[in-house]
Structure 1
Amino acid sequence: MAKRNDAEKDHKLRVNLISKNIRKLVYKGQETTRIFQMNDEVEVASEEKGYLGSYYKATILYPIGTCSDYRVKYKNLVHDDQTTPLEWFIRVSELRPVPPEIPRETKPMETYDIVDVYDNEGWWIGVITAKVEQEYRVYFPTSKQEIVYSADKLRFHQEWSDGKWIFPSLG
């Protein structure tokens, strides 16, 4: 029984440490080292309360001023009429290129991997806390929710840094 309690304690400590690192990622602006062009595919990192830690696919419509802001058209978000794609002005600190796909054969997903989960029309950052048969339990530090998803809803989380994609460090 003591070993089980120690394992549970260790698991909670690891998840808490990773969650702390995820919150740091969520609250920092995107590290944009490039100027986007019209029609570039991007992801918008939401800075709105309730949406922190989410990324939404969009297309650059045009730059505003000296390229510190852009007008984008979202791929999956729509206006109140539910038919017209939402267009919005976005600060460059909320933009990043679309991350490359990593084939599952290259690297299988494991417990404690930082992932993005596709849900509610966007990608939400979280940490895998367990594998349950063919599904993954994911904890979202910004909402303090833990939800089970199928593998096809997950991708490895990557950060845009110094003009290249990297995996965030865990500690």
Structure 2
Amino acid sequence: MAPIKVTEINSEERHAMLSEFIKSIAFKRQQITKVFQKGDEVEVASQVYGFIGSYYDATILSPVGAYHYRIKYKNLLTGDESAPLEEMVSAAVIRPVPPHQDETTSENRFRLYDMVDVFANDGWWFGFISGKIGEEYYVYFPTTADNIAYPRHVLRYHQEWVNGKWKYLPKTRN
């Protein structure tokens, strides 16, 4: 069987393929390639159903044994909302904060099917561009099946922490 050319894939098939790809990434645990120190800024992957595929900014408070850390979230609060939430998490759900993306470059224009993170509901959510109307980009989130419009300033290209380095996932172009 000959390989399928990208131009031969219709939008429903591409949507389904990207959805499965994103789910496979969102449900995997991080490869432990870095030892974090007190004060390190990190992102913590949620393992809670309905929040899979989201990352939350946090600071390392201390290592706990070989594979756990005590962390303090930047945007998540305690139940009574009186202080930032602190908890112990596995090293497998922690990654460094991705490098900042320059929003002024012309290459930073999102296109249909680009994989992105959206800052919403106190964290970064992984999805892909499903459309654009006016100045708002629609992002589809395969782990929740939501398709929501966002302004450009809350989007970033998705990156994965692989073998101790940040990697952009290949951009999908029409």
Q: Segments of 4+ in structure 1 off by > 4 A? A: none
Shift of 1:12: 1.6
Matches within 5 A, 1:64-143: 64-66=64-66, 68-104=67-103, 105=105, 106-143=107-144
Please give the per-residue CA displacement for 1:90-139, whole angstroms capped at 9, x wherever unaligned: 00000000001221314321111110111110010001011111110110
Do the aligned partners of residues 94 and 31 (structure 1) sit closer, same or farther apart at CA in structure 2, a change above 3 Å counting?
same
Count of paired positions? 163
Unaligned runs of 5+ in 1: 1-6
RMSD of Structure 2 on Structure 1 (CA) = 1.6
Say if 1:76 and 1:85, in contact at 8 Å, map to a contact too. Answer: yes
Say if 1:41 and 1:59, in contact at 8 Å, map to a contact too. Answer: yes
Say if 1:21 and 1:170, in contact at 8 Å, map to a contact too. Answer: no
Residue 17 of structure 2 is matched in structure 1 by 17
Say if 1:17 and 1:170, in contact at 8 Å, map to a contact too. Answer: no
Residue 28 of structure 2 is matched in structure 1 by 28
Q: What is the CA–CA distance in structure 2 between the aligned matches of 1:135 and 1:150, rounded to whole Å?
A: 5
Unaligned runs of 5+ in 2: 1-6
Q: What is the CA–CA distance in structure 1 between the aligned matches of 2:90 and 2:171, rounded to whole Å?
A: 28
The SS at the match of 1:99 is coil
Question: What TM-score, normalized to structure 2?
Answer: 0.89
Q: What is the CA–CA distance in structure 2 between the aligned matches of 1:19 and 1:167, rounded to whole Å?
A: 17
Shift of 1:32: 2.5
Shift of 1:168: 2.5
What letter is aligned with 1:41? E
Please give the per-residue CA displacement for 1:61-86, whole angstroms capped at 9, x wherever unaligned: 000112x0000000000001212000
Shift of 1:170: 7.0
